């Protein structure tokens, strides 16, 4: 299907590109609709899916809250706090050797990976060290 450009899709892409963390569809909807521009929720969902398909953004499943969207498409790791359920990027180096190792052992065709670390975030650590 040949895609036509649309003001709404451009706005959504720019909004996601401007975010410094992950956000859900609902949060993106709220964020955009606080400005002058009004976009319907169904349009937000439809375009987030289209943009993810176009590899302009990345759709990530959050361990507790459905899907969130990320401006970074390159594979990268995440940290999940099992206490407060917060979820954030981890920017350590990409371990290509894991892909090779797993491909060799499983015979699957592996293109990339992303690792989800679990633990306790700094805010929760402080809270529980009292």
121 touches, from a copy of itself, DNA, none (C-beta below 5 to 8 Å by class): a copy of itself
Q: Is 122 in the site for DNA (CB under 7 A)?
A: no
* Using rule CB under 7 A, residue 41 touches DNA: yes
3-state DSSP assignment of residue 91? coil
Q: Of a copy of itself, DNA, none, which one sits near residue 130, judging by CB under 5 to 8 A according to partner kind?
A: none
Shortest separation between residue 2's beta carbon and DNA, angstroms: 5
- Cα dihedral value 7, 17, 77, 126, nearest 10: -120
Asked if residues 25 and 44 have their Cβ atoms less than 8 Å apart, the reply is yes
Are 77 and 93 in contact, with CB atoms under 8 Å apart?
no
Q: Which does 32 bind (CB under 5 to 8 A by kind): DNA, a copy of itself, none?
A: none
Burial class (CB in 10 A: 0-12, 13-18, 19+), 15: buried
What are the Cα distances from residue 7, in Å, to 4, 37, 57?
Answer: 10, 10, 17
- Footprint of a copy of itself (CB under 8 A): 61-63, 75, 77, 79, 82, 90, 92, 95, 98-99, 101-103, 105-122, 125
Does 102 interact with DNA (rule: CB under 7 A)? no
Report what 45 binds from DNA, a copy of itself, none; CB cut-off 5-8 Å by kind. DNA
CB of 129 to DNA, least distance (A): 30
């Amino acid at each position: 299907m040949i895609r036509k450009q649309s003001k709404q899709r451009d706005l959504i892409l720019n909004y996601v590109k401007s975010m410094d963390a992950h956000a859900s569809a609902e949060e993106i909807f709220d964020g955009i609709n606080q400005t002058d521009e009004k976009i319907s929720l169904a349009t937000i969902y439809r375009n987030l899916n289209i943009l993810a398909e176009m590899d302009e953004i990345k759709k990530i499943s959050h361990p507790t809250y459905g899907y969130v969207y990320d401006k970074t498409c390159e594979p990268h790791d995440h940290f999940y706090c099992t206490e407060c359920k917060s979820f954030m990027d981890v920017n350590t180096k990409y371990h290509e050797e894991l892909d090779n190792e797993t491909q060799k052992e499983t015979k699957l065709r592996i293109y990339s990976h992303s690792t989800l670390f679990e633990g306790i975030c700094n805010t929760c650590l402080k809270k529980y060290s009292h």
